[in-house]
Structure 1
Amino acid sequence: MNGVDDGDLARLFRAALKGDEEAYGNFLNGAAGLVRAWARRRIVFGGLEAEDIVQETLLAIHVKRHTWRADGPVAPWLYAIAKHKLVDALRRQGRYPRVEISEVEDQLPSPETETLRDWEIGRALQTLTPGQRSVVTAISIEGCTIAEAARSLDMNETAVRVALHRGLAAIAKRFGRE
């Protein structure tokens, strides 16, 4: 348990609850070490710091110290509080964690990957008829709406929808995604 014995922590916390300030300081130091190690193992995305979880947990321990059962172990109680503080922090952070580009830049595709992607798109478009190719290019690559594509290609919207559907179906069939 990271060099701190649960029995020692419980003994220190019991003394602290009876008013021993030195025992309380020692308890908080030991608890901080446990929570810090625990939080470091669980924080996997950027944007959260283990030390923030430690501070929030220590504050909650102080506020909720009366809820600990003096006849029980203290570590599970500490970890339960820390878990709730971690969940609260993740909720505050939102659905998508904030990650610095420098943390993931080695995982970003290289410029050669983009060239390969362009080549694959061109290869897929070559399998289509000229009408399907122009519709798929206008809508899927250039981002036109059905109405815009119909106007620019001098077609009606129904014909554009049919050509798009047939073109995408042909690409899926040709490249194994039926």
Structure 2
Amino acid sequence: MAMQEQAWADALRRERAGDASRYAWFLKEYSAVLRRVVRGRLASAGLDPQEAEDIVQEVLLAIHQRRDQWDCNRPLLPWLGAISRYKTIDALRRRRSERRMRIDLSDREWASLFAAEGEPAVDSGARVEHMVSTLPRVEQSVVRKVGMEGLSPRQAAEATGMKEGTVRVAFHRGLARLLKLAQGGGA
């Protein structure tokens, strides 16, 4: 590991001198090591190891944005490790939270949420569509993306150009309005 650290540190020093190819080499080498570590962390946390690439990209972006903060007279691995560890922990927390908040419903279950008493769930699709169309435009868009298309709040934010927090708030407000409508109250 000491030789690898020296090679990586040398690559970062050379990047500061304008050698972009050495920096690209460093990112490729470090991402391969990081990918294995992140997959292991995801698996041990009971999360899908397939999501490792998103976390690796977050870490690499953070390293890139902070590369000028590394003191080249100090060891590189502790600096890399701190950024990688904190970014990975943040991502794991977000994914656990998203997993707890996510409710995967089949189309039939989704439709039955809003079916009137005694009305078959299959016939309520038009009713659900009508109720969603009465929501304010932002809530309508978010409910369609998250609730009907099954996107995560992050994916819906990217698709709509909103912030993830805004998507979450709009989704919860939209669901509250839909439930009120389904129970016979107004929006």
Q: What TM-score does the superposition give when structure 1 sets the normalisation length?
A: 0.49
Question: Could you say which structure has the larger radius of gyration?
Answer: 1
Structure (1/2) with the larger helix percentage? 2
Q: TM-score, normalised by structure 2?
A: 0.47
Structure with the greater relative contact order (CA < 8 A, sep ≥ 6): 1 or 2? 1
